[in-house]
């Protein structure tokens, strides 16, 4: 295994895809937050709803896998 992955173009591409992935993940959270009848952030942080936290965590994992598959090809 060589050092091809240390080339600046590869490193920059990796950071770019990571930033795009995080932005898409956060936008999807905001969209789902708007579609639900209550404020997800207030339920998670303010009321400490553990069941909703598990559901939102699973949602983040699923959307993250979809984004990773879309980026990877």
What would the pLDDT profile of 9-66 be if each residue is shown by its tens digit?
877 888 888 888 889 888 988 998 899 898 888 998 999 999 999 998 998 899 888 8
Is pLDDT above 70 for 1?
no
Is pLDDT above 80 for 71?
no
Q: Give the chain's largest Cα–Cα span.
A: 52
Is pLDDT above 70 for 5?
no
Per-residue buried b or exposed e for 57-67, using 16+ beta carbons within 10 Å of the residue's own CB? eeeeeebeeeb
Stated pTM of the model: 0.70
Confidence band of 73 (pLDDT split at 50, 70, 90): low
Torsion from C-alpha of 13, 17, 19, 22, nearest 10 degrees: -160
1 three-class SS: coil
């Amino acid at each position: 295994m060589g050092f091809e992955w240390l080339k600046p173009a590869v490193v920059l591409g990796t950071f770019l895809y990571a930033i795009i992935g995080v932005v898409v993940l956060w936008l999807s959270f905001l969209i789902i937050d708007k579609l639900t009848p209550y404020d997800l952030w207030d339920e998670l942080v303010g009321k400490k709803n553990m069941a909703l936290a598990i559901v939102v965590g699973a949602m983040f994992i699923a959307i993250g896998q979809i984004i990773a598959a879309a980026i990877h090809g």
